[in-house]
Structure 1
């Protein structure tokens, strides 16, 4: 009996309890953890038993810090410092829950070393989730990052929140399989080249992926849902945005699925862009390729402003309230796209219309001078006025050989529902326009 009691006591002291809930470590345990980190040999693995530890922790030598069991190690931080600062190369941290809810400037995890691995961390932050600064060739894999759920955290405006994963002057890193929610920008890259952003999910934030002054960024197989903009690609070169899903970026007047601004040599291919305010927005950008994307059920399919020398080929524009708007964007190679609002003629049977599809610039030019007229978008009166505007067609942005039938797609079964949704949206817009006109008439009377 005495032996059994000693065994139970030993299990309790190591943090393993029969209920499966980790016990809280003491301040002495915390000091021992930092001391153990400081005393560890380079390359050593430190395995943490179940429990709650208090930060901040600082790692200044190459080692591996990992949880002994899944979902059992919690690192809390009530200081104004990072909960975890990795200030050296060749460090791995795996399997920790980081609770750093206090609103502050310092990030929850700060990485200032090369070849760092952060894997399966569950981070709740009142600041930035992970910041990598002057940190190269690292891996950020399968982490979950979410904004604080504390009352003071919930009160913070999106514009004042930190980013989920933030890279500055950090090159050739791989960000894969992360889930990011309720932050400022999900993944932000500035002055950071040749990074790979693959298979992440970002929602309820400002921008899903935001690139600024980057080269060679690869954005593949990510999903962005209900952010303001799915992918913001600005002042960049040689970026790839391929096989991503951008859905329901539509709750803000500036919402877009994919936005290119001052972007050059970008490849936008095989993305699903669905249910956004604007599907593809391209402004002051040149030498980009936009091909084989499915742009469906958006308010505006594609919007071009002051852009030239772009190749826009083989895309599906279906179920959008308006397929396209363009202004000052004539010198582009736009061929072989399918526009479901266009009816062409194919006399030689090659699958392409002999009649070109010109994007009427009337409405875009009108709202630039009178923004309030956006209220009359697609109204019967506005469509009538647009039909009367036929001048300078040689300067219109034009698809010279639009497709007669949609390109082959695995999502074509959804086209029927797209048409229904488009009809409902059109009816709603028409009803709103009539109500506004009647209200204005009553005021005059």
Structure 2
């Protein structure tokens, strides 16, 4: 059955008719399975949907749901509910989310959400979909640490987040204890972590774009995650910025990603049994960092234009082979395209900064590079690419070359200047 709800009434109609056309009243009176079409206009929240319904506008983009309360603008407790095409304005900074879902198989499609809280929160509900939805932070003067997440899942399995745009929130898409989720085709900008999964298994993160976040994708205490075909660029404004971060991650695949212009391209710590392959890691300050990570396979990746291609510490038992490192000059005597000389990742800088964090200021400074070249202790324990490529597989290295190259070049001059000034001051202080 289809119900059409108008927002405005001619003057002079009875108050009983006005109450009959109140949105919550119509929802309460509707029968399970009905579709409610809203005519253009502004409706007041909050509303609660506690039976299977479809709520949508007659014409997408012309219905506004405005919520001035401290409750969720929309609460959905019913299974098999669809809410589509609404523009939701819920700008109060509060604990309750804009949309709260506790029912299974809920579909949220084509929503435009302006929020001062979490945009969409799912709790103990499975097999839902969020698609073609835009979530923007609305409240001014709020620190990133105090903002809500764009989409927040807890104990919510087999959800699909497809083709959404999320901006200026805390974490774009956050999943905790939520297995087999699919995160695909989303654009996430100017947030803390673009995609963040913790205590999950079987998460798929594919074809997303993350820009200007602190970290593009963070996989923590998770297993069997797939991070493929994404682009994570310009995560570089924070000292802890990374394109893709694996921490305590296991049996995970990171493949076919473009990681460009970040502070660290790939960051891997305390992680085992993962595969990192066929990624393009370009114009980052550090291409890849391996910290206390073992039994990972790292192959067929391209590292180019990075200030430093790689750093490693306590990660000698990984299988590195067949990667291209543009800072490495090998020898190919038999012409098979692979160097006969291995590429070893010097652990000197990582070891020094672990003991003396302030020495990070001298990253790639002439003095540090010189000392690193002298350090040859326990070479057999260094992380080593046994057969680095002499040339990139596709013969092209120009992704982000203009922008990324200029940024890393400027960064290099700044770091050189800072280290020189610090050395000068230390010398003056000693005289």
Alignment TM-score, normalising by the size of structure 1 = 0.91
Q: Distance in 2 between matches of 1:239 and 1:417?
A: 31
Q: Structure 1 residues 362 and 50, CA, compared in 2 at 3 Å: closer, same or farther?
A: same
> How far did 1:145 drift?
0.4
Alignment deviations for residues 143-174 of structure 1 (CA, whole Å, 9 cap, x no partner): 000111xxxx2122111111100011111111
Q: How does 1:400-439 map to 2 (within 5 A)?
A: 400-408=386-394, 412=398, 414-415=400-401, 422-439=408-425
Q: Is 2:284–2:404's contact at 8 Å kept on the other side of the alignment?
A: no
What is the aligned counterpart of 1:222 among 189, 192, 208?
Answer: 208
2:46 aligned with 1:56, yes or no?
Answer: yes
Q: Which residue of 2 aligns with 1:181?
A: 167
Q: How does 1:148-167 map to 2 (within 5 A)?
A: 148=138, 153-167=139-153
2:181 aligned with 1:191, yes or no?
Answer: no
What is the aligned counterpart of 1:257 among 243, 261, 268?
Answer: 243
Q: Which residue of 1 aligns with 2:291?
A: 305
- Aligned residue pairs total 421
Alpha-carbon RMSD: 2.0
SS at 1:135 equivalent:
coil
Q: Which residue of 2 aligns with 1:91?
A: 81
Range 122-131 or range 402-411, more displaced: 402-411
Alignment deviations for residues 220-259 of structure 1 (CA, whole Å, 9 cap, x no partner): 0001111111101001111000000101111111111000
Q: Structure 1 residues 257 and 12, CA, compared in 2 at 3 Å: closer, same or farther?
A: closer
Q: Distance in 1 between matches of 2:424 and 2:185?
A: 50
Q: Distance in 2 between matches of 1:243 and 1:215?
A: 19
Q: Which residue of 1 aligns with 2:338?
A: 352
Q: Which residue of 2 aligns with 1:361?
A: 347
Q: Structure 1 residues 314 and 436, CA, compared in 2 at 3 Å: closer, same or farther?
A: same
Q: Which residue of 2 aligns with 1:246?
A: 232
Q: Is 2:261–2:404's contact at 8 Å kept on the other side of the alignment?
A: no
Alignment TM-score, normalising by the size of structure 2 = 0.94
What is the aligned counterpart of 2:70 among 59, 63, 80?
Answer: 80
Q: Structure 1 residues 439 and 239, CA, compared in 2 at 3 Å: closer, same or farther?
A: same
Q: Distance in 1 between matches of 2:403 and 2:98?
A: 44
> How far did 1:416 drift?
7.2
Q: Is 1:146–1:181's contact at 8 Å kept on the other side of the alignment?
A: yes
Alignment deviations for residues 193-225 of structure 1 (CA, whole Å, 9 cap, x no partner): 111000001111110000000010000000111
SS at 1:69 equivalent:
coil
> How far did 1:412 drift?
3.6
Q: Which residue of 2 aligns with 1:124?
A: 114
> How far did 1:188 drift?
0.3
Q: Structure 1 residues 134 and 414, CA, compared in 2 at 3 Å: closer, same or farther?
A: closer
2:379 aligned with 1:393, yes or no?
Answer: yes
> How far did 1:423 drift?
4.2
Q: Which runs of 5+ in 1 are unaligned?
A: 1-10, 16-25
Q: Distance in 1 between matches of 2:98 and 2:395?
A: 43
Q: Is 2:7–2:42's contact at 8 Å kept on the other side of the alignment?
A: no
2:257 aligned with 1:235, yes or no?
Answer: no
